[in-house]
Each structure stands twice: as C-alpha cells, then as structure tokens.
Structure 1
Amino acid sequence: MALALSAVGFAVAPGAAAATPCPSGAVCIREANGTILTKNIFYRYGAHNLSNVTGVRVIVNNQTGGAGFQICKGYNGTNCYPVQRYVGEYAPYDFTPINSVVLVR
C-alpha cells in the first residue's frame, strides 16, 4: 500500500535491502546506487542548499517527534512544496529542479 503525497508526487517506497540506512534524527537523500553521501544527511532544522543533487533520488525522513521536511525549487528554502511528515523512504523523485531541503519541527 502506498501513501500518496500528491502535492509533490511522493509516495512511500519499499525499503531496499542494500540501501545505506539514514541515521536516526536525520533527513537523507540517497544516491541512485542506494548510498548516502555525508553531504546529503541533514540534522538541523532550517534550510539546507543542495550541491550537485540531480536526477532521480530517494529522500528518507528518519526524524523523530513528528518533524518533517520540505523540498524547494529555490535556494535557502524558497518556492517550497508542502511539509511531509511521514517517517521512512519516499518514492524516487527527480531532484533536478530541487535546490534546497528544509527541516521543520
């Protein structure tokens, strides 16, 4: 069963056994091969600008306490999609037009 998040076209994706786990308390962006680069692990609330994150990627919300995230077309958390609070992996999404991720309480 997939949880559709239609505002951005996200849906919950099944977990991949070979994928690198996202640390507890973080939001992570997985590479196409399932790994997570250190630069794409976010712990602090607020905007995080992305660098060279293009193509289809999977975002993982492993925050606690109901915290969420937004993906944004602009840098510094501007032109954002709605907040997502589901904990776990989301369906693959084309990050080419995405320039920042915002972590929210």
Structure 2
Amino acid sequence: MRKITMTLTALSLTVGAGLAAAPSASAATPCPSGAVCIREANGDILGKNIFYSYGAHNLDNVTGYRVVVNNQTGGAGFRECLEYDGGNCSPVYRATGDYPAIDYGPINSLVLVP
C-alpha cells in the first residue's frame, strides 16, 4: 500500500509540475494597442516582432509555428508574405485578436494595411 501511495504522490507531483510550467494565454505577453505582433513559441513577444507602421516589414529569424496578434485599431489589417518586401502575400486579415498558429518557416514579411 505504501508503494502505491508513493507512486501516486510522485505522479501527481509530476503532472502538477508539468501543468504549472505550461504557458497559458493569460501568461502571454500582451500585444500593444495599434500594433501587429508575432508571438514566440513560449508566448513572449520580442521587440523586433512588434509592428506599428503601414507597409512591408521583413522578418528576421522567425521560424516555426507562431501566433500573430492583430491589435490595430480602425479596421486596419495585415498580410503574410512569402517574399521579402511584401511579395506573394495572403489576403488581408482584419479581425483583431490572436490568429491560429501557422508555420512561419516560409513567411518572410508582413505587410500592414490601413
């Protein structure tokens, strides 16, 4: 019986530690008002991945699955582009909030549009 109790205790500690370490939406860094941001895998937003101005923004070392947050105001949107300087882009996304994670390996720039 003692062995079962110790095993269950160890299991609950392991599971509890895993849950505590997992990032949650509330723990993620907020995207500033008026910006489009790209989240790191851990939920952080690096300064280099916060964009305020309209036009093309080339991405530097942004790979893997990432979440984009559109926190622009006034219905402004963004496009994800396969080429640098805004070439070969997606349609314009205007909804505010977090977008589903996609693989940013082939994405080389974002274009912010009014």
Judge same fold: TM > 0.5, yes or no.
Answer: yes
Task: Say which SS state the counterpart of residue 64 (structure 1) adopts.
Answer: coil
| C-alpha displacement of 1:91 | 0.8
Shift of 1:99: 0.1
Per residue, is there more strand in 1 or in 2?
1
TM-score, length-normalised on structure 2? Answer: 0.79
- Structure 1: give runs of 5+ residues left out of the alignment: 1-14
Partner residue in 1 for 2:92: 83
Where does residue 101 of structure 2 map in the other structure? 92
Q: Return the alpha-carbon distance in structure 1 between the equivalents of residues 94 and 60 of structure 2.
A: 24
Structure with bigger helix share is: 2
Number of positions where the alignment pairs a residue of Structure 1 with one of Structure 2 = 91
Moved over 4 A (4+): none
CA radius of gyration, larger in = 2
- Give the structure 2 partner of residue 62 of structure 1: 71
Could you list the per-position Cα deviations for residues 8-42 of structure 1 after superposition, in whole angstroms to 9, with x for gaps in the alignment? xxxxxxx8111000000000000000000000000
- Unaligned 5+ residue runs, structure 2? 1-23
1:31 counterpart = 2:40: yes
The residue type equivalent to 1:67 in the other structure is A
Return the alpha-carbon distance in structure 2 between the equivalents of residues 55 and 40 of structure 1: 14
Percent identical: 71
CA distance in 2, matches of 1:53, 1:39: 10
Work out whether 1:46 is the aligned partner of 2:62: no
Aligned to 1:60, the other structure's residue is in SS state strand
